[in-house]
Amino acid sequence: MNTAPTEGAISVRLKKGGKAYIQNNLSINNAGYGIHARTEYVGRDPKLVPSFLIQYNTSLFNWKHDPIASYGGNALALDKELTAAINQNVLGFGHFGGIYNKGANITLANNLFTGNLKYDYKEINGEMIVTDIVDEAERIDPSSAGNNTALLQISVGERWAKKYGERKELSREEIDASVSAANSGANQLRGMLGINLQGNSSSMDAEIFLPRLELDEAIPVGLSNWNGIGCATPRTE
């Protein structure tokens, strides 16, 4: 929680032939990816492609890397050249989406998507909501089933929830439209030399971005699950 890594708040990287479990974790209020499955293998031998089992995790409130970034903001991201079984996870409230699949071959079963702003699943450049995933995605095994969306009661602290609700969403397009070049002596010289002009400062800003979540505000979320989907303690499977 409260992290801003360049990869994932939970990031696991496998070498050739590696196998990993990512299971029963709460990842909440981070910039970038809540969970990131990574690989160092670049070959073609299917016996050596790393494989992941990603199950019973709750990944919520994943922010872009900065207020106008075009990357990050996903509950789960997967590299290409790996396989993954993704089961019974809660993947929600992403600044962009639930899953960003960069080319992995996956199965997707009984996951719950909620509150994602742009998409539930992205595959390369294709963005889709949960009901369209199995029909439209090319990297998902046809046996995948049971994925759904619902309005969830998230038991995060009221103080933080109010602050999150007051945030302002910004886009790169809005920022660019609000900036104009200053008619300064320096810009006149830059114009003569064919160099890009320097803009004035934009009045648009995100006053609320990745507000700190206190531990006692987050723990109730990790102690909950939704009909067996998501993390919970203790778990014996």
Instruction: Note whether 84 and 140 are within 8 A (CB).
Output: no
Helix (H) or strand (E) holding 21: strand 19-23
Model confidence at 197, in pLDDT bands (50, 70, 90)? low
The answer on pLDDT for 213 being more than 80 is yes
How far apart, in whole angstroms, are the C-alpha atoms of residue 117 and residue 104? 23
Q: What is the pTM of this model?
A: 0.82
Task: Return the beta strands (E) in 79-176 as ranges.
Answer: 83-87, 90-94, 97-101, 105-109, 112-114, 119-123, 126-128, 148-149
Going edge to edge, which strands form the sheet with 33-39? 8-14, 33-39, 74-78, 97-101, 119-123, 126-128
| Per-domain boundaries in the chain | 8-149, 171-204
String of b and e for 30-54 (b: at least 16 CB within 10 Å)? bbbbbbbbbbebeeeeeeebbbbeb
The answer on pLDDT for 109 being more than 90 is yes
Residue 33: which of 55, 11, 2, 58 has the closest Cα?
A: 11
Model confidence at 138, in pLDDT bands (50, 70, 90)? very high
Reported as half-sphere exposure (CB side, CA atoms, 13 A), residue 141 has a value of 14
- 37 token code pair: 């499955």
Instruction: Note whether 20 and 45 are within 8 A (CB).
Output: no
Model confidence at 193, in pLDDT bands (50, 70, 90)? very low
pLDDT tens, position by position, 1-49: 999 888 899 999 999 999 999 999 999 999 999 999 999 998 888 899 9
DSSP 3-state of 216: helix
The answer on pLDDT for 187 being more than 80 is no
Instruction: Note whether 24 and 231 are within 8 A (CB).
Output: yes
Instruction: Note whether 142 and 134 are within 8 A (CB).
Output: yes
